[in-house]
Amino acid sequence: MEILKRGFQLLVSIHSKLIHKYYQHIYRKRKLKTFLMGVGSLYLLRRLSQLAMALTPSIRRRNLIGRYGEESWAVITGGSDGIGKEFCIQLAKQKFNIALISRNAKKMDQICLELQNYGVQTKYIVADFNNGYTEDFYNQIYKQLEYLDISILVNNVGTGEAGQFEQQKMEDSFMMLRVNALSTLMMTRILINKLQNRNKKSAVITISSGLAYLPSPFVSVYSGTKAFTNYFTQSLALTSKNIDFLSVTPLGVSTAMINYKKGVNTIETKELVLNVINDLRQGKTHSFGCYKHKRIINHLLWRNQNYRNKIKIQMGIGLRNTHLSKIRQDEQQK
């Protein structure tokens, strides 16, 4: 902390000198030096604001369990693998009780045993969201949750298929709509009144995708479902008073969906989840999951349409090839 304070004081001193030089060069009409001084001043202002946040942890980081309530529950859909499992672990470390919803009872039972080592209560509900196209399906889930003090809902469950749209099976398209989009809408709907009426604050975290902003060929249905969940969550955030809504739009995350692919721009599930939780602490309504994904998406959105389209086609081809590679591996293992 002492080092941060000294760094802050040093930057303030440098910034003051830059401002002084800036006005000197304006007076002397030295355009290039004036411009460079202005850029340097703005850069230092940014660093100063970052250091100021580091020096005020009470503002930068909310105490999650204090904000959302001790002994409260976090509900995570698709919590038996990947991102969902990591949310279970990290929220259990924060002392939230955990309720998982997924298809695989054996996996969830094992995860619950692991989570109990953090001194929290656990519960799991067996449900296949691909069958979630009736009101009764979600009513059955709610009946198993209604007695819990739920403070956090993580809409994480998702699936993806890749290929030429006209060649995809219609059932695969229905599956992505039900699992990716309808599950987010309906889980939020059945729990929103419960979350809204708590004495403490509540939170809804939706795991969308960077493809919500960069819709790509060969994953057109997947891109569409993620665009829906992203804008659905952000729209609810605009007028919500008691619920903190956070939409998450990362690019590559090393999960089963991309065959655990590694790469320069691919991040691990733990990094993603820790960054998302930190963004929730800061009161954000949107998270890119990590800085590098934010930089890539913003850069592409800033570029012209032709360039952006070329990159989106490349992304779609890459995802299609990864999907086909995963299918071949699965067939070889059978």
Amino acid at site 316: G
Classified by CATH at the fold level, domain 64-294 comes out as Rossmann fold (3.40.50)
Q: What percent of the chain has pLDDT over 90?
A: 56
pLDDT value of position 229 = 97
Q: Is 13 exposed, middle or buried (0-12, 13-18, 19+ CB in 10 A)?
A: exposed
Residue 60: band (very low, low, confident or very high) from pLDDT cuts 50, 70, 90? very low
Sign of CA dihedral 216, 220, 224, 226: negative
Three-state DSSP class for residue 154? strand
Residue 77: pLDDT over 90: yes
- Whole-angstrom distance, CA of residue 229 vs CA of residue 209: 9
Q: What is the pLDDT of residues 27-37, one digit of tens each?
A: 455 555 555 55
The pairing of strands 122-126 and 202-207 is unpaired
Q: What is the pLDDT of residue 1?
A: 53
Cα torsion through 134, 74, 59, 270, rounded to 10: -100
Q: Average pLDDT for residues 226-254, to the nearest whole number?
A: 93
Average pLDDT over residues 230-251: 95
Percentage of the chain beyond pLDDT 70 is 78
The yes-or-no verdict on residue 59 having pLDDT over 50 is no
pLDDT for the residue 323: 76
What is the Cα–Cα distance from 158 to 206, expressed in whole angstroms?
Answer: 11
pLDDT for 261 beyond 80: no
Q: Distance of CA 212 to CAs 95, 171, 222, 288, 301, Å?
A: 32, 22, 9, 11, 12
Residue 154 has pLDDT above 60, yes or no: yes
Q: With bands split at pLDDT 50, 70 and 90, how would you rate the model's confidence at 174?
A: very high
pTM of this prediction exceeds 0.85: no
State yes or no: pLDDT of 87 exceeds 50: yes
What does the pLDDT read at residue 168? 87
Spell out where the chain has E strands: 73-77, 97-102, 122-126, 150-155, 202-207, 243-248, 286-287
Residue with tokens 């990094």: 271
Max CA pair span of the chain:
77
Return the H-helix or E-strand segment holding 140: helix 135-143
pLDDT at 187 over 60: yes
Band of the pLDDT at 324, cuts 50, 70, 90? confident
- pLDDT tens digits, one per residue of 2-34: 565 565 566 556 656 655 555 555 545 555 555
Q: Which of 94-98, 261-265, 292-296 has the lowest mean pLDDT?
A: 261-265
Mean pLDDT over all residues of the chain?
84
How remote is the C-alpha of 252 from its chain's centroid?
A: 12
Catalytic residues: 222
Beta bridge partners of 124: 100
* Domains in the chain: boundaries: 2-60, 64-294
53 vs 145, which has greater pLDDT?
A: 145
